[in-house]
Amino acid sequence: MNKSFDICILGAGLAGVSLAYELSKGGLYVSVVDPNGVAGGASGTPVGLVNPATGRYATLGWRSKECYDAVLENLERVQEKAPVQFYKKSGVIRPALDEKIASKMKENFDSTQWPKGWCEWMDEESVTEFHPGIECTGGGVWLPIGLTVDIGTYLKSFSDQLQTDGTPFITGKEYKLRKNNDYWEVNLEDNTTIKAEKVVVCAGINSSQISYFKDIPLYPVKGQLAVFKTDAALPFEHAVSALGYIGSLSSDHFVAGSTYEHKFQHEDPDQEGLDYLRKRLGSVLPDLVNSATLLLQWSGVRASTPNRKPIMGEHPEQPGLYVFAGLGSKGLLYSAYLSGLMRSFIIKEDPVPKDLSIHRFN
């Protein structure tokens, strides 16, 4: 059986699902193929943050305003029709844990033109008053616009809504990709053939396992999280970002993340990861770690690149074959805005930013 589409997307994580939305909105007939299922990779993260104050010193990230506005628009639209709440806008606090960090954070804060209402400086007393029990030295920043998101649930609702609107998701089936004259074929194991004029590889860390893209430099960085239950309701709603993060969408559970493992023997969660998370959590919120019971652990593998920027573009020798991967540790923040850029590139040939282009590796 043959089915024809304008575009077939390989991979249903943050990149693939957000791009499917953009392309179908642009009038194209799109299908998405994922052997593992929607959010089967790093995007299965139970809780992630949209936190534009990045790195150790809370630096305003790359095109943060555009990225934030785009992802919030998607979250709001998908949430409207979703059966469960998967995100909240309850802010992120970033306490400094020593004087040196506090002074660099303050320097950064003073020299940055933060969008209006995004970021406030708090001195040490204000931080500890705002969040009793938190460790803080020298102050920190408060981002009222910070978002806490159950990414896997968001993507499941997003893909369900796209399916309802006519974009098929074909999951749980292995496939082979091949070129057939002027179109691409995705041959599924059940003998269905998907024909598409264009194919976009959005397979996260596995993108470089697709032979056409074997040379793109994607580096695996494993991340582990732990979900904890508390005896009493959490006395705060916001997320905390210091030595990792904690975020919560319910009053008696929270998620603590994350490890950044550049070398690892296996992809599953382990005791070492849990010990690391507990230790770091204990350095920021000591009372919380003592009263929390472990519910479950989760792990995923991020795809990082040499300049820590995503990889977007068309294969230099295979017209109609594209890649959109390497979203690293900011895939949630980047997903909607970059999907819009990718759509303009595919449909209108608008160039992608040079520092994100696949051609930077030529």
Ligand X SMILES: Cc1cc2nc3c(=O)[nH]c(=O)nc-3n(C[C@H](O)[C@H](O)[C@H](O)COP(=O)(O)OP(=O)(O)OC[C@H]3O[C@@H](n4cnc5c(N)ncnc54)[C@H](O)[C@@H]3O)c2cc1C
Interface of this chain with ligand X, residues 179 to 208, rule: CB under 6 A: 202-204, 206
Draw the binding track, 205-224, toward ligand X (x: CB under 6 A; -: no contact). -x---x------------x-
Say how far apart CA 236 and CA 240 lie, in whole Å: 10
The least distance separating ligand X from the CB of residue 129, rounded to whole angstroms, comes to 26
- Asked if 11 is part of the footprint of ligand X (rule: CB under 6 A), the reply reads yes
The least distance separating ligand X from the CB of residue 123, rounded to whole angstroms, comes to 27
Nearer to ligand X, 122 or 332 (CB): 332
- In the list 28, 48, 94, 340, the residue contacting ligand X (rule: CB under 6 A) is 48
Interface of this chain with ligand X, residues 141 to 170, rule: CB under 6 A: none
- Asked if 273 is part of the footprint of ligand X (rule: CB under 6 A), the reply reads no
- Asked if 49 is part of the footprint of ligand X (rule: CB under 6 A), the reply reads yes
- Asked if 88 is part of the footprint of ligand X (rule: CB under 6 A), the reply reads no
The least distance separating ligand X from the CB of residue 101, rounded to whole angstroms, comes to 20
Nearer to ligand X, 28 or 71 (CB): 71
Stretch that binds ligand X, among 14-22, 83-91, 281-289, 336-344 (CB under 6 A): 14-22
- Asked if 227 is part of the footprint of ligand X (rule: CB under 6 A), the reply reads no
- Asked if 331 is part of the footprint of ligand X (rule: CB under 6 A), the reply reads yes
Nearer to ligand X, 45 or 108 (CB): 45
- Asked if 313 is part of the footprint of ligand X (rule: CB under 6 A), the reply reads no
Nearer to ligand X, 108 or 305 (CB): 305
Say how far apart CA 339 and CA 67 lie, in whole Å: 10
**Positions that interact with ligand X (CB under 6 A):** 10-16, 33-36, 39-43, 45, 48-49, 202-204, 206, 210, 223, 225, 257-258, 300, 302, 325, 327-333
